[in-house]
Structure 1
Amino acid sequence: MFLGIGEGMQIHGIVIKMGLVCDLYVQNSLVHLYGVCDDCRSAGKVFDEMPVRDVVSWTSIIAGYARAGLFDEAVTMFLSMNVEPNTATFVSLLVGCGRSGNLRMGRRIHGLIFKRASKVSLEASNALMDMYVKCECLSEAKQIFHELPKKDIVSWTSIISGLVQCQRPKESLVLFRKMHSSGIEPDGVILTSVLSACANVGDLDYGRWVHEYIDRRAIKRDIHIGTAMVDMYAKCGCIERALQTFNEMPCKNIFTWNALLNGLAMHGRGYAALKFFEEMVGEGSTPNEVTFLAILTACCHSGLVDKGRKYFNQMISQQYNLSPRLEHYGCMTDLLCRAGLLDEALMLVRTMPMAPDVLILGALLSACKDKGILKLPQDILDHLIELGTVDSGLYVLLSNIYASKQRWTDVTRIRRLMLEKGIKKFPGWSVIEVDRQTYEFVVGDLKTWSC
């Protein structure tokens, strides 16, 4: 049973009364205790008062600082060590490197590990792989993974979860299949990552298989797995199954609510999203920026202008005091433009604390085209030049607006600007799945006719 900081301090007091405070084993235990409880000040005090320190002492204080996010202090301690570090020392430092994104120090530690050890332990290899994943250096992580003579569940979890986090879901699913065929039983952490990968690529069949596997193996469906299931079903087009899974969950956190609200928004279920939002607030959950983005998206897709205004104002009110990001302004601009409220949309864009992005400019341009307005595009062209965007869609849309009014000089000007910037119009493409194989099509493509 793990003791809290209060009980730990009581034991520390008893240790002092019994005269055991100078015992190295006891001192190391106290440093470790305070480090685990994120009380680095007390851990440092005990460490500084130690007359003798061994590798366990140094590793405990380094691990405590790294766990608390005090990476500079952890590195300072490491550089001050007067004893030979061991695997646990390096692992503690690598954890800090990963959390802080300090790739330079991580590579330095990598070099030290190989320099000091003829054979790198599995624990150190897993820590190195996890560090590279968190620093988004997948090539190094994959190299370490493939060179491992033996892989455990931690190895597989690190690389598969890392691929999902770095937006490489297809690769993660390939590796998961290899892991499963090798006889290693996945745990809840890796299954959560696999469900997220299925959601990202829209692989409903495999997502269902994972769901059935969890139930068949009686794996505890915790809040993380449940949330991943809701997200997977919603993104794969099964909103009713997402709702069923959501309602079956005994406990929900803000991520669970956000997954459902996003799914309802994507499926045009605006009123249902608003209903669940009010239910969420009624149960005591506090919405965050992601929640409001989902609600504004729901309002946008369902044309709920008044509701959109209400929730946007609620977001910035004293009740929640959240700062809208560019995505929130983009949703509101799109909502107003779709409703034909171009003047209100322009006013909103002009009062934004940041410059509009490609999506906002695109919404304004589309509204201009629908209304046949030509005054606004020149202002937008200036923004396009300032942004330096290479999105051909906006330039083509602007050109089409001028062409519809037979303003050929302006059309030529836009086309010339595209040539000067090296902007090309790329053909549209679509994806279908046949017999668990994904096929991509572009205009005029005859290569994939066999599917």
Structure 2
Amino acid sequence: MNNVNSLAERVVTLLKAFCRSENHVKQIQAQIILHNLQSNTTITHHFINASQSHNLLNTVLPLFFTTSLSPKPHIFIFNSLIRAFSHSHIPHIPLSIYTHMHKNSIFPNNFTFPFLFKSLSDSHHFIQAQCVYTHVVKLGHVNDLYVNNSLLDVYASCGRFALCRQLFDEMPYRDVVSWTVLIMGYRNCGRFDEALFVFEQMQYAGVVPNRVTMVNALAACANSGAVEMGIWIEDMIRRNGWELDVILGTALIDMYVKCGRIEEGLRVFSNMKEKNVFTWNAVIKGLALAKSGEEAILWFNRMEFDGVRADEVTLLAVLSACSHSGLVEKGRLIFGVLVDGKYGFRPNVKHYACMIDLLARAGRLQEAFEVMRCMPFEATKAMWGSLLVGSKSQGDLEFSEFAARKLVELEPDNTAYHVQLSNLYAEAGRWSDVERVRGMMKERELTKDLGCSSVEVEHQRHVSELLA
């Protein structure tokens, strides 16, 4: 027995102090198998951690999935495996481990379920989560706060908000995590007013929010225009003496600039000790949305001068700012160096959409069309919309007709596009083509709904979504 304990201590020491490479992990694994140490919870805990840090988790499973092990591995080992794999973004493995436990009569406890539910939440596996929850009920863990919080997260991530709210209301205990999961769930699916309503209920319940709560509440304020609530949150942050770290500060900036309070956003920016690319992006995007193109480019230049490397979102915001402010040459220059690879990545479809919108707004229709023709993507609805709106403003019926026909091809059941094409033909006096389009609409049972949004309005929505 003393020899076994001594060996176990040496293996633990090796795992904690000397396991620095994949080869070390594999050598220790061989010793664990050779001396049948798989049931030692201390060894396996450290071995799982070492395997995770060296991306070797998959090699761990065979150690415990064999049915010939004696004694049977402790539940702590399987809980450690589920926890490790729940962070590995391999969604099916934690459920496989759980299934293996059941087949081998290794009964889960209340520590098993939170990380199992986390993996099911990440992969949006609602049905599997419901099945697992029957075991929670059967084993008597329905009142466990951590189990319920993790199940709340599953329901929220799967968009099952009736169930999410029902579970929340029925929970005998709730903590800040319970409230935050509910707020985050509503925020992530775009139900911003409901997220803020829950945030207010949280205050009445006397639960003190944490930083994650505040970030999600600020995001809901930003997207619903609830600037007064955002100001109240900043005041609460100040009263609590919280430092504006990079995540919380960036959320506050984003809220102010999206609500049109650019100066307040810049004040928060200047008060932050630490900033990252997301912080700079929040400012530049805000200026782009406010149509302050020159100032957006000024901040973009400051960002580069400060040594912060621009990412895809930065360039999208700058190009959008150029488009809204008519800064054609500046936009062309920035897009050109982006295409040349200066920033370490190639322009994506959204960058091309911004560039096409910039050229179309400026009346450079042929140039916009050439960009569309030469890009490595299929032209999108937003691009053809830009060309249509730009050509209409220039009175170019040829380009207008071409773009409208492309929109009809892309969305043959969109009434607005058919009406737009019909109107263009009417302007040109091409009545036979008008009748042909009306015939197509009748064939598809499309009616000229007076409430149907115009192409211009729909196009503006698409352009705005580029920066969302």
Aligned to 1:125: 148
2:138 counterpart of 1:115: yes
Taking structure 1 as reference, are residues 256 and 57 closer, same or farther at Cα in structure 2, changes over 3 Å only?
Answer: same
Correspondence for 1:152? 175
What amino acid is aligned across from residue 307 of structure 2 in structure 1?
G
Question: For residues 319 and 65 of structure 1, what CA distance do their matches in structure 2 show?
Answer: 38
Contact 1:31–1:43 (CA under 8 A) maintained in structure 2: no
1: CA distance, partners of 2:51 / 2:215: 29
Q: Per the alignment, do residues 70 and 168 of structure 1 end up closer, same or farther by CA in structure 2, a change over 3 Å counting?
A: same
Within the candidate set 61, 74, 80, 2:94 is matched to 74
Correspondence for 1:29: 45
Query: Cα distance 1:254–1:104, how it changes in 2: closer, same or farther (>3 A)?
Result: farther
Distance 1:221 1:43 in 2: 42
2:345 counterpart SS class? coil
Specify which of 25, 49, 54 is matched with residue 74 of structure 2: 54
What TM-score do you get using the length of structure 1 for normalisation? 0.84
The AA in structure 1 aligned to 2:113 is F
Identical-residue share of aligned pairs (%): 32
SS at match of 1:85: coil
**Equivalences for residues 236-255 of structure 1 within 5 A:** 236-255=259-278
Change (3 A) 1:38 1:60: farther
CA offsets per residue over residues 6-28 of structure 1, 9 Å max, x none? 99541779x999x9967724224
* Distance change in 2, residues 1:9/1:308 (3 Å): same
> Judging changes above 3 Å, is the alpha-carbon distance between structure 1 residues 267 and 406 closer, same or farther for their aligned structure 2 residues?
same
Contact 1:35 1:61 in 2 (8 A): no
User: Which moves more between the two structures, 409-418 or 260-269?
Assistant: 409-418
Structure 2 letter corresponding to 1:198: C
Deviation sequence 1:420-447 (CA, Å, 0-9, x none): 3535342679xxxxxxxxxxxxxxxxxx
- 1:18-69 deviations in Å (ceiling 9; x for gaps): x996772422431453366464449827954985411001110121112112
Q: Could you tell me which amino acid in structure 2 is paired with residue 260 of structure 1?
A: V
Match of 2:224 in 1: 201
Equivalent residue number for residue 352 of structure 2: 329
Paired with 1:8 and 1:307, the residues of 2 have a C-alpha distance of 56
- For the residue of structure 2 that corresponds to 1:265, the secondary structure is helix
Which of 180, 186, 196 is the equivalent residue of 1:163? 186
1:257 and 1:381, CA in 2 relative to 1: closer, same or farther beyond 3 A? same
Counterpart of 1:56 in structure 2: which amino acid? Answer: F
1:440 matched residue in structure 2: none
Task: Return closer, same or farther for 1:295/1:392 CA change in 2, 3 Å cut-off.
Answer: farther
Match of 1:10 among 1, 17, 21: 17
Counterpart Cα distance in 2 of 1:421 and 1:77: 53
Give the match for residue 93 of structure 1: 116
Q: 1:118 to 1:226 in 2, by over 3 A?
A: closer
Q: Secondary structure of 1:87's partner?
A: coil
CA distance in 1, matches of 2:163, 2:108: 24
Q: Residues 28 and 56 of structure 1 are in contact (CA less than 8 Å); yes or no, is this contact kept in structure 2?
A: no
* Residue 161 of structure 2 corresponds to residue 138 of structure 1: yes
Which region of structure 1 is more displaced relative to structure 2, 261-270 or 321-330?
Answer: 321-330
Deviation at 1:126, TM superposition (A): 0.7
Gaps of at least 5 residues in structure 1 are 430-451
Query: 1:394-431 CA deviation, whole Å, 9 max, x = no partner?
Result: 444434333333434434444444453535342679xx
Between Structure 1 and Structure 2, how many residues are aligned?
423
Change (3 A) 1:344 1:32: same
- Distance in structure 2 (CA, Å) of the matches to 1:167 and 1:390: 26
- Per the TM alignment, residue 307 of structure 1 is displaced from its structure 2 partner at its CA by 1.4
Q: 1:43 to 1:62 in 2, by over 3 A?
A: farther
How large is the RMSD of aligned CA atoms in angstroms?
A: 3.1
Rounded Cα–Cα distance in structure 2 between residues aligned with 1:299 and 1:335: 7
Structure 1 residues 365 and 428: alpha-carbon distance in aligned structure 2, compared to 1, 3 A threshold = closer
Contact 2:38 2:44 in 1 (8 A): no
**TM-score, length-scaled by structure 2:** 0.81
- What SS does the aligned partner of 2:128 have? helix
Aligned to 1:371: 394
